[in-house]
Structures are given as C-alpha cells and as structure tokens.
Structure 1
Amino acid sequence: MSKFQVISSLLILVFIIFVIYEITAFSPNHSTMNHSTSNRYIQVQLLGVNDFHGQLNKYQRVSGTMAGGAEYLAAYLKKYIQENPNTLLVHAGDMVGGSPPISSQFQDEPTIEFINLLHFDVGTPGNHELDQGVNEMKRLIYGGFNKETGYFQGTNTSYSSANIIDRKSGTPLLPPYVIKQIDGINIGFIGVVTKETNLYVTPENRKEVEITDEVSVINRTVKLLKEKGIKVIVVLAHDSAKSDQTGANPSGALVEMAPKIDDEVDVIFAGHSHEYANTVVAGKLIVQAYSNGKAFSQVNLEIDPRTKNIVKKQAKIIVTSHNHIKPDKETVALLNKYRKRLGSYFNQIVGEMPEEITRNQDANGESPLAKMIAESEREAMGVDIAFVHQGEMRKNFKKGDITVEDLYTDLPFGHSVSKLILTGDQIKLALEQQWTKDYENRLQTVGLTYSWDSNAPIGSRIVAMKDRKGQEIQPNNEYEVAVSNYLASGGDNFTALQQGRLVESGPQVVTALIHYIQQKHPHE
C-alpha cells in the first residue's frame, strides 16, 4: 500500500468515528445524554421573600433559634447571590403595611430603602400595599411627595400585577408581567394579589381599582408571554399555600388554583397566609417562606439553553437563623439611621403585664388581647358596646414591661376609634357577617353577649343578643357602639357597620390602649 493510500484510509477512519460520535452523543435515546448535557444546562437561582411587613428590627424564634431582622435576611440573601451570579431576587407582596414604628412612622419608606439596598428584581403588591390607598402604593413604587415625609425616590424593583385593574381604563394598574433575562434565558414573571383584597382594603382606599380573578388573568398573561416565545414562567402570587415540611398535604387557595393554571407556569411564589409551603401541585412548584423575614425561599432551576425549557426544579425554605451568619453592615447602617430619627419616645414603658396576653382565639372566637383592645375603645368613647376584628392586632403581649413600641407594633395600622349609632337589627346583621361560605371571621365583643347556632344557614345563625345588663337587644332600638374607623367603613366585609350613623371620631386605637394600660396595669 502506498503512503498516499495509508493517509487516505486514516482520514476516512477519523471521519467515520466523528460521525458516529455526533450521532450517538446527541441521540435522545443514548445513555450518555444526561452526562453530556448536564454541564451545559444553565443554573438559575430564584430567591423569594413574602409578607415582610416592614419587620426591619424584629426577631422571632423558629424551632428554638432566633431568626429574622433585616440585617440577617440581607446577609443570607447576599451570601446566596454570591454563590450563584445567575440569581433573581423576588417578593410576593405585603413587604409593607402592618409595620413596626421604625418603618410605619416614616410611611414605610425605610422598608423600600431596604428593598432597594438588596436590589430586588421583581415584586408584586399584596393587599397591605393598598392599606394607605392606591396613590400611596404608587408613590412607594414610582416615587413622589408625601406631606409627612416629603419627596421619596421610589423603588428600583420592577413591579407586576395582572389583576389590580384601573376602573377608568379597564387595564392593569401595573404591568401585568415583567421579563428578566439571565444568561440568555428570558424569564417571565406575572404578579397577582388575592381577590379577597376587595374585603380587606376599605372601599375608600381601593375606589380607583378592582381586584379580579387570579386564574383567568394569569392564563391570559401566560398566553401573551408564550406568544413572545417565553417558556420559563414564574407567578408571584399574594395568595395562600401550605404544606408539610415534606411537601405532603398541600392546601390553600393556590393549591386549588394550580390545576386550572396554564401548564406553562413552572413556579409559584405564594404569600398572604404566613405559612410554610414547598410542594408540587399539578406540575407547579409552590413555595412560601413563613413571614416577617424569618425565612426565604430558594428555588433552583436547570434550564436547557437550546429548548429554553426547565429540565429540573427544586426548592428549599431557609430560616434566617442568627447562629450561622453575621449581620449585614449596610443594613445595620440603614437601621441605625432610622433608629436615630425615631428618637426615644417609643422606648418609654407604658405599663406592666402580669401575664402574657395572647391574640389567639378560643373555641368561641374570643381573644384576651382583642377583649382588652375592645374594652379600651369602649372606655375611650364612653359607650356600652365595642367590637374589634382579629386583624387589628399583630402580636401577643409578653409578660412584664410594655413599651410604646410594643403597642405600635401590635396595632400598626393607624386606625382611630369611631362612635356609631346602630340599631339592634344592624348589630345582628354585623354579627351574622362573621360567617361566609368560605371562611369564619369572628368579632370580639364587649358589653354584648350573644348565642348562635353553628348548624343554621349562613345569615341566620344569631339566636339571641343581650346587653351588659342582661337585657335583650331590641331590633329597632338604637345603641352606641365603638369600633375602629376601618370597621366603620365596612372593612373585613362587615358592611352592616357602614349602615351606622357616625356621631364622634375618637383617638387612635393605639392611643386608647395606651391610656387603658396606664390605668389598669401601671408600671411599678
């Protein structure tokens, strides 16, 4: 064989080997497929926070360890971002509202500054973002002037909400979706808030908007994203979800919605119910990381850059334990700035609790803390009857000294006390509204007792009502009743109270409680 023939044979052999490799390496049935492609999948990390509620300087115990606080949450998030540069930071709403004084006394601007410091990529409003009305929500997002704090620059986070609909235009108030690109992959984010926001936010503060059905707007928005060729879709839903630590026994609004949501949705970040969730329902990974910054969600995605599809997804809920990390210095500086501005007033001791006063309800729907608040409102307005709703208060009172900050943290909404004139029939209707087909929302009453039949139809459960002297409440008689201005305006769907006649506006709910504690439980 000539030298030329040998070289030609070798070249042909090399070519055949190359062709065989190409065919086998990229054959979907070949056993080396996973090995050859695993290195080329794009690793994307989504870190999620929900229901922070401005808890910048508040800590809680989780499984025996101290957790939470903005400086620790920031330290964890920065650490995880550093470990994977392909990270997007997201939140599922209620980042503000129900905040302690360090945030609430400055119109929640400190919390937005914290969000900006961490450079959250995408967020969605929860129901509490609307507590102060649509314009104030938009100011915190886009910037603007407030008479209490002056001009604020807003946030650098992209916000989305597909189901907060502007009544005038009939279109979403905020962008229905946000697209973020990471390592060449476009990821679509759709924000929604629970339709129950129509119940929780006073009519005055949501008059410009309507909150529509979540599933239908998600599916419509998914269609828009699919038309743009986007295959990785994440929903930021301020809606409830819950599961066991293993992912078993999922429940909540989003679990019920999941089978109805377009299958192109891959991940749903939940919120609103402050529960733990890490589960898969109808092929959708659903996560919720408790509340108040004591944990966050880590979602890891493996994405095929050729098909743009997710090939693997998994999640962890990570507690922000103080034991394993040092506080973030930038955040500590931010907190110190606002502690200084807050001054010493909130450190003053108001009284001393002889025992823990809990907000937890018993079988009859009664809560010791709610009863104390109701008594303080009744005394402040000089009436015989008072009602308090469970959502008014956020924390238990610990045994021992109670400070002004403790009270403002427990009653953060700035509600005032109203004196209403209600007929017996109107009082009965308000009590009937504690039950709906979907849930029970009990009122705390003082100066009035009532009995009910839990087996009777909704709307016809109240059997008898008596005043503090044991006299039957008469349908046509008029009674003076103390409630918060939130309840008086029909908040929490107690629309019967809107029928009452407002005769006097009193102090803030927190002020009435301060005076009550100073009298009943003075500091020794």
Structure 2
Amino acid sequence: MSHHRSIGALASGCLALAVTFTPALATAQPNQTATQRLKDLQVLSITDFHGALETGGTVTVDGVRVPAGGAAYLATHLKQLRARQPRTVTFSTADNVGASPLISAAFHDEPTIEALNLLGVDASTIGNHEFDAGQSELLRLINGGCLPAGSAAGNRTSCPDGTFGGADFPFVVSNVFYADTDETILPPYTVINERGIKIGVIGAVLEQTPDIVTAAGVAGLEFTDEVTAINRASAELTARGVNTQFVLVHEGARPDTTAYTADCADGTTVSGPVIEIAEDIAPAVDLVMTGHSHQAWVCSIDDPAGQPRLVTQAMSSGRIITEHNLQYDPRTKDVVRASAHATNHLVTRDVAPDPRLQRHVDRYAALVQPIANRVIGTLTAPADRTPAPGFGDSPLGNLIADGQLADPTVVGTFGEPVIAFMNPGGIRADLDAGEVTYGEAFAVQPFSNYLVSLTLTGDQIYTLLAQQVTGANSPASGGYTKILQVSEGFTYTLGATGAIEGSVTLNGTPIDRSASYRIVTNNFLADGGDGFPVFSSGTDRYFGGVDIDAFAEHLATTSPVTPPASGRIVLG
C-alpha cells in the first residue's frame, strides 16, 4: 500500500535559490555551556547530475540566464565550501547517470562515476535513471568491471583504458528489494564517521519507479513505500546508537503544482510527493535531502512530532550545491536542530576549474569527438520541443515521431506501423537550424531506448490519449500532464479528460474504436512507462533498433529537413 494521498497545506518555510534559511523552532535554544561543546558539521548535497561533465546548462537569476555547472567548476565550488568547516560530508540524491550527454553516455556513464569519485562524494542513493540499463548495469557501475566485447554497438564502448573500478563511495537504498524476499539490492543505509561524528545515511527512491522506467530495467525487483522503509532503517540506526541521521530520497517537489502543497514563509509554494514523505519520516531523522524534480529549494517541514526539519533540493546537473550547516552535541550524539540552516549556492563558471576534474573531462571529450562531430543532416529552421500556443505537439516532437514511423527496423511479420507515439520527457534538448551532428542529435534522445511496434485497437488509442491527462498523469493526483508527440497524419483535439470523441483521425479518416492499428513507440512506453499502462496491453510486439539511430537515419535520408509545424494535436 502506498502512503501517498491528497493532503492540505503544511506549516512549512521554503526559500529559493542563493538564500539562507534557518527554521524557527519551538524548542528552547541551547544554553551557553551546551553551545561551547557543540561541534559544527557541514553537509553538502547535489542531485540529478545526469552525467553533466562539461556543463550543467544555465540558471535564471534575476531574469538573466547564467551559465552554471560542469564537473571541474563544481569541484572548485565544493573545495571552497569545504574550506569553511573541518567536518564536512558530501552526498548525492541520485540520477547520477542516465539521460547523460554523449561524453558520458558513449562510455556507459563510467566517466561520471569516476568524476563523482574525484568530487569526493561520500554516499549516494539511487534514482529511477540508475535503472535505465537494468539492475546488472547499475551494480556494475557501483562495483566496477568492464562490459563484454561487443558493447561498442550503438556508438558506445566500455573501459577505454581496459579497466573500470566503479564507485569509491557507498550507494544506499532502503525500499528496493529482490522480489518476494526481504533482501534489498543495496544496503539500506551506511554509517559515516566524520571526525568523531557518527552519521547514519539512509537512501530511498520513489516507489513509482517502475512506472517511469522500462519493465526490463526493474524486472525481478519490488519497490516499496518510501516512508515505511526509511523509518525501519532509522529504527535500526537508533538501536545501534547512531542518533545523527540523514535521508537521501530520490523523490521531489516543484513550484506551482497542486498536490502535497507546502506554503512557504516567503509566499512561494513548493509541492509534490516528497512533501508528504518528509512529513511522515521518523523524528529521529535530522535532515532530508531530495531530488528527481530538478528544482532548487530549502524548506522546513514539521516531522511527526511537530518539530520543524530541514528538507532541501539542489536542482540538477551540478548547477546548485546545497550547503547545510548543523551543530552536533557530543553528549546526545545528535544534531541540534535549533541552529540548523541551509543555503543553495549557484555553481558559477567564473572560478578556476579544478585541474584534476578538468583533465578527466578533457580526456573523455577528446575520446568522444569522432562520434560527436559526425554530421548526420541539416535543418532549414530550428526544431524546438516547446509546442506553439494552443497545440500539444512541437516541431521537434513531430520530427522524432516521423522518424520512428519511417524506421524500417520496426516493420516485422505483423505489418507496418501507421502511427508513432513519443513521450515528451524523452526529448531532452532543442536543435538549431543548419548542420546537425550526431552529438547534437544524441543530446535530444539520450536514453538509447529500443523501438517497438505493436497493435492497439481504436478503443485502446482513445484510452491512451485519455491517460495523458488522467490517472498517474492527472495534476489533481500529483502527476504531470504528458502529451505524447505523434507522427504525420494522426490528429485529434484534446479535452480535459481525453480526446474529444470523433476528433481522432488517421490521414483524415476517423479512428474506428473496434478496428486494430499498428503503432510504434519506444520500449519505455511500450512497457507502460510514464503512466501509460494501455501500451502494455498491445499485442504482436516486434522489437526494432535504437531510437537515436532511427532519428539520425531520418535526418540523414530526408535532409535538408524542414521541421513539421505544430498542429497535429489541438488543445480543446
């Protein structure tokens, strides 16, 4: 049973980027003698790094987009922050890998694990993207070892030096089990001794991970309620005498949504499933660090005992470091929450890059150049993933869907597909006009999913279109609307609960609910991912090639390409 439910506003305080926040506690401040014995402890956190070795992109500050991130610059900022405190630890709240730029993905994200080692990460949990290539590959990245010969297929290779040592730090997760067992796939927690301070670090990933990754990636695993698993681990740590406890949970919240809302002290609102999770985590936990939603915020959320507790998130792609400043009481062996405060720091690129990290990045940048620089086609105009006002499809989404429909590898014994569906979350970058390189195309589709053709009835297609705005994708239940991008010739009008009856057409002919239609999509969606379970009911499955290869081939064979205009999906 999931603990997620609709709740009212929480009494919380949240502040945004580059500000310091200290929760106002109802408990008394420590006296002078107690203050003198307290030890300062700095906790640094990053999240959703996604292999962003060269740059994290930009952050908007006072209306201006500021370049941010990059592993070498992140290392410098971490070093500067650590210089402030002798006792310091650094954590990641996961999605370290997956959806990575080509510089990391071309080497199966081994460069990212090596970079995190150099960055001095002390522990990490796992996120949904750690399962993109399945549990075996996740464990290989943690434990080390090379993929077997032949892994270079699809412009990827493993161990360019012949060896890969894996992570130098522990990964923890308390709520992922081997199916039908009580055994977690990784330790539920670790204990770090930082200059005499014992810190219990508990990990968890969102319970809904199987809904947003491929079925093959999580086969044989069971994802359980986050709070139940965290609280079990917390009780074990308490029994071991470890009173200072932190949680790394890969679940998030973002501004201006509707479910699980926390009204913040400065008038802003942050909402999402992690708000409720944080409210229910055992009072023994002193700090909750989150991820997944790629936002930067610092909040105070009451624990079950009614005491405020810091809950934070550090954006994504190495653009933000959250610094938590805590005080530890050696007598109680616990953190004094009354003095806790946190600050989100922008990882600017106006500092000297760390030499070791820069050499690491430069090496892999050189190794990937022959692949990245190969021109595969040209565009006569920019291809953007943002739909025009009033439409649910985008020029880039249309272009990708058209390429999937044209891919010959998905034409098997069951017939040729007539409709393609592409999930918008799988489109990760825009394309400029002019020449398009493989590296640029890869940035658009970095997951290397397989294409799958299957058969749906017209009635199932109507159900599919309704699932874009209902069920797991209903904003009212805490989800996010996901409008699938579609191929040329398929059109409809989308209403509040699905496609308007009779508006769904293929090449001008209304879809017949009782007829069968051959469609193509990626294996993530075909397995019911992103809250589209009707895909998993499709019949006569036939696996084709990799999605990025279909996109690259479509650009190559149709260039120069004019991106298809929005208008296939009208928002009613």
Establish whether TM, by shorter chain, passes 0.5: yes
* 2:50 equivalent in structure 1: 53
Query: Using a 3 Å threshold, how does the CA distance of structure 1 residues 462 and 146 change in structure 2: closer, same or farther?
Result: farther
SS of the residue 1:102 aligns to: helix
Offset of residue 205 of structure 1: 1.5
Offset of residue 371 of structure 1: 1.6
What stretches of structure 1 of length at least 5 have no aligned partner?
1-30
- Give, as a single letter, the amino acid of the residue that structure 1 aligns with 2:296: Y
SS of the residue 2:407 aligns to: helix
Do the aligned partners of 1:350 and 1:523 also contact (CA within 8 Å) in 2? no
Give the helix-richer structure, 1 or 2. 1
Do the aligned partners of 2:492 and 2:499 also contact (CA within 8 Å) in 1? no
* 2:520 equivalent in structure 1: 482
CA distance in 2, matches of 1:403, 1:366: 24
1:264 paired with 2:250, answer no
Equivalent residue pairs, number: 489
* 2:328 equivalent in structure 1: 303
* 2:215 equivalent in structure 1: 203
**The one of 359, 383, 388 aligned to 2:385:** 359
- Give, as a single letter, the amino acid of the residue that structure 2 aligns with 1:480: R
Do the aligned partners of 2:210 and 2:529 also contact (CA within 8 Å) in 1? no
- Give, as a single letter, the amino acid of the residue that structure 2 aligns with 1:450: Y
Moved more, 461-470 or 83-92: 461-470
CA distance in 1, matches of 2:485, 2:85: 49
SS of the residue 1:273 aligns to: coil
CA distance in 2, matches of 1:113, 1:170: 31
CA distance in 2, matches of 1:253, 1:32: 32
* 1:407 equivalent in structure 2: 441
1:71 paired with 2:68, answer no
Offset of residue 32 of structure 1: 12
TM-score, L = length of structure 1: 0.87
- Give, as a single letter, the amino acid of the residue that structure 2 aligns with 1:193: V
Query: Using a 3 Å threshold, how does the CA distance of structure 1 residues 502 and 335 change in structure 2: closer, same or farther?
Result: farther
Offset of residue 252 of structure 1: 1.7
Do the aligned partners of 1:241 and 1:287 also contact (CA within 8 Å) in 2? no
CA distance in 2, matches of 1:519, 1:49: 41
Offset of residue 350 of structure 1: 3.4
* 2:400 equivalent in structure 1: 373
Offset of residue 520 of structure 1: 4.9
Map residues 21-420 of structure 1 onto 2, 5 A cutoff. Answer: 34-62=31-59, 63=61, 64-147=65-148, 148=151, 149=158, 152-242=164-254, 246=266, 248-282=268-302, 283-311=308-336, 312-323=339-350, 325-361=351-387, 364-381=391-408, 383-420=417-454
Moved more, 234-243 or 362-371: 362-371
- Give, as a single letter, the amino acid of the residue that structure 1 aligns with 2:96: M
Do the aligned partners of 2:205 and 2:226 also contact (CA within 8 Å) in 1? yes
* 2:538 equivalent in structure 1: 500
1:491 paired with 2:529, answer yes
CA distance in 1, matches of 2:284, 2:267: 21
Do the aligned partners of 1:247 and 1:280 also contact (CA within 8 Å) in 2? no
- Give, as a single letter, the amino acid of the residue that structure 2 aligns with 1:417: L
Map residues 412-451 of structure 1 onto 2, 5 A cutoff. Answer: 412-434=446-468, 435-436=470-471, 437=474, 438=477, 439=479, 440-446=481-487, 447-451=489-493
Percent identity between matched residues is 33
What stretches of structure 2 of length at least 5 have no aligned partner?
1-27, 152-157, 256-263, 303-307, 409-415, 563-572
CA distance in 2, matches of 1:461, 1:468: 14
Do the aligned partners of 1:377 and 1:513 also contact (CA within 8 Å) in 2? yes
* 1:24 equivalent in structure 2: none
TM-score, L = length of structure 2: 0.80
SS of the residue 2:297 aligns to: strand
Larger radius of gyration: 1
Do the aligned partners of 1:259 and 1:281 also contact (CA within 8 Å) in 2? yes
Moved more, 342-351 or 62-71: 342-351
CA distance in 2, matches of 1:198, 1:421: 23
Q: Cα deviation per residue 1:308-364 (whole Å; 9 max; x = unaligned)?
A: 2322211111111112x1011101111122123223231133344444433235555
Query: Using a 3 Å threshold, how does the CA distance of structure 1 residues 503 and 129 change in structure 2: closer, same or farther?
Result: closer
SS of the residue 2:83 aligns to: helix
CA distance in 2, matches of 1:499, 1:225: 44
CA distance in 1, matches of 2:266, 2:349: 24
Moved more, 295-304 or 372-381: 372-381
Query: Using a 3 Å threshold, how does the CA distance of structure 1 residues 265 and 364 change in structure 2: closer, same or farther?
Result: farther
Higher relative contact order (CA 8 A, sep 6+): 2
- Give, as a single letter, the amino acid of the residue that structure 2 aligns with 1:115: L
Query: Using a 3 Å threshold, how does the CA distance of structure 1 residues 477 and 523 change in structure 2: closer, same or farther?
Result: closer
What is the root-mean-square deviation of aligned Cα atoms in Å? 2.5
Moved more, 196-205 or 467-476: 467-476
Do the aligned partners of 1:280 and 1:286 also contact (CA within 8 Å) in 2? yes
